[in-house]
């Protein structure tokens, strides 16, 4: 086994960068998460409406009394519904991230 010297507190790597320290943990991120949840719900509602508007049932009756039923799908509306559903899912994932960063907010450490 090789015994290497261990770094002390003064020589930790990587060295601290000079300049303002940006914090990821900010309590106002909870408001951002709430807005994202509202936008995700709106996008989900729009996706639901587009999905159900993206198909139509066509019923035709022939002279001999047979009933023919077919379904017509509108690709643009279905694609928009899938896109909005994806946007809603991404917004919800980011809302969870923002909320976790807001909850874990830390108070600044006093400088010694």
What's the 3-state SS for 17-82?
Answer: CCCCCCCCCCCCHHHHHHHHHHHHHHHHHHHHHHHHHCEEEEEEECCCCCEEEEEEECHHHHHHHH
* Total domains, the chain: 1
Q: Is residue 1 part of a domain?
A: no
State the residue range of the domain holding 76: 41-105
pLDDT at 46: 97
Which neighbouring-strand residues pair with 106?
none
Whether 99 is covered by a domain: the verdict is yes
Provide the residue-wise pLDDT of the chain in tens; the chain has 112 residues: 777 777 666 666 666 666 555 566 677 889 999 999 999 999 999 999 999 999 999 999 999 999 999 999 999 999 999 999 999 999 999 999 999 888 875 655 666 5
Within-domain flag for 19: no
């Amino acid at each position: 086994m090789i015994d290497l010297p261990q770094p002390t507190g003064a020589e930790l790597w990587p060295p601290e960068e000079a300049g303002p320290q940006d914090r990821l943990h900010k309590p106002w991120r909870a408001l951002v998460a709430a807005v994202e949840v509202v936008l995700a719900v709106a996008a989900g509602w729009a996706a639901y409406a587009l999905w159900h508007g993206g198909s139509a049932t066509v019923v035709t009756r022939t002279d001999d009394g047979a009933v023919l039923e077919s379904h017509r799908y509108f690709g643009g509306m279905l694609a928009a519904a899938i896109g909005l559903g994806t946007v809603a899912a991404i917004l919800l994932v980011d809302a969870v991230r923002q909320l976790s960063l807001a909850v874990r907010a830390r108070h600044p450490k006093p400088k010694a």
